[in-house]
Structure 1
């Protein structure tokens, strides 16, 4: 964990230098978010519990439920604007992610930029979700050959991305345990507070509120279990 947090701090240092240019990442410029999806939204038979108390508290203070060792560094590097914690709380999750300077690869993946056949923007913006969002370094850690193969196959890419999404918003205090994803597979969240992990991946900063989702930034791309 210490090694990842060091990398994360280094990345935040670069972000701090470029803070004045963060608005270029917003959906308003058209730089990060693709056109809305035309495909139907994935369905799930079991919706996770919604936390109305968490939503009410976050509406007053978007930072109220933050957990993770990287939250303070991120807030310091991006204290205001659309990519800040407060800024993300105002937008639906796909738009909010496009404004976050640590989620450029994920934003490209869910918006059809990597594979035109995989565009989940309307899906993600259209209901309440809990999203485990791999930071850019998580995608960079995947061997290029493997990443390119996953991106080229629409079914594989869609499966990977929807495995990071749980129906309903879940607060950090309620997130530990097993959860069924939109993809259909289960994932396991362990630990508590600043020590949360999902399938062994570290939650860098979680409890980040958007207009329709609760986001947990993670240091690893989660791979769905093989279908039996």
Structure 2
């Protein structure tokens, strides 16, 4: 986990250089600290946890309000503004938002038919509300090249793996722990809380990222459906 965090931080350093020229679509003064989840203690008059409706309202006003994950601050620093930033992604449906995220190039290619023309999930992903566990590029790069090519060449297998990363409905970080039935049909399990969320053993790098129709959790490993 520490090795992955170091690799992720290094990758973000490269992205930060590459994204300096992004056109700002949101406030350029937003900092990593402001993008990170709030750690302030509740007042004595509001000691109870906020309701789901209150959290949804807060997220609508501030897309970074409910972020969780140790990589959120690094991502916000690397992409502080523009379409690929947390604020920018909130404006677009999930497939479009993912295509603007510099960490999700491989995933975007996989769901848009660029890796296999028979697997194009863009309209499906943009057409309803979902929770998406999105493997970053490093997660795909960790798969042996021979195995990755075999998966990409098999439309059924690729579709099965991709839909295993998608859960119907939007689930906030405060409610994400537990088992969830995926679009693929089998369950995945989320454990932990806050900055220590795990999905089937994969670490959540940054979760609770809002798009126009989905809640996204960036993960450090490609999730594989259990063998039936």
Partner of 2:224: 223
Partner of 2:9: 9
Q: Is the 8 A contact 2:22 2:81 kept in 1?
A: no
Query: Which has more radius of gyration?
Result: 2
Aligned length: 200
Identify the structure with bigger relative contact order (alpha carbons < 8 Å, sequence gap 6+): 1
Q: Is the 8 A contact 1:128 1:168 kept in 2?
A: yes
Equivalents in 2 of 1:210, 1:65: separation in Å?
13
Partner of 1:68: 69
3-state SS, counterpart of residue 173 of structure 1: helix
Partner of 2:176: 175
Gaps of 5+ in 2: 24-51
Residues 176-197 of structure 1 show CA distances to partners (whole Å, capped at 9, x for unaligned) of 0000000001000000000000
3-state SS, counterpart of residue 173 of structure 2: coil
Q: CA deviation at 1:57?
A: 1.5
How has the CA–CA distance of structure 1 residues 123 and 53 changed in structure 2, closer, same or farther, with 3 Å as cutoff?
farther
Residues 129-160 of structure 1 show CA distances to partners (whole Å, capped at 9, x for unaligned) of 00000000000000011100100000000000
- The TM-score with structure 1 as length reference comes to 0.86
Equivalents in 2 of 1:122, 1:177: separation in Å?
28
Equivalents in 1 of 2:86, 2:55: separation in Å?
15
Equivalents in 2 of 1:151, 1:199: separation in Å?
22
RMSD between aligned residues? 1.0
How has the CA–CA distance of structure 1 residues 22 and 221 changed in structure 2, closer, same or farther, with 3 Å as cutoff?
farther
Equivalents in 1 of 2:200, 2:55: separation in Å?
24
- The TM-score with structure 2 as length reference comes to 0.86
Q: Is the 8 A contact 1:22 1:99 kept in 2?
A: no
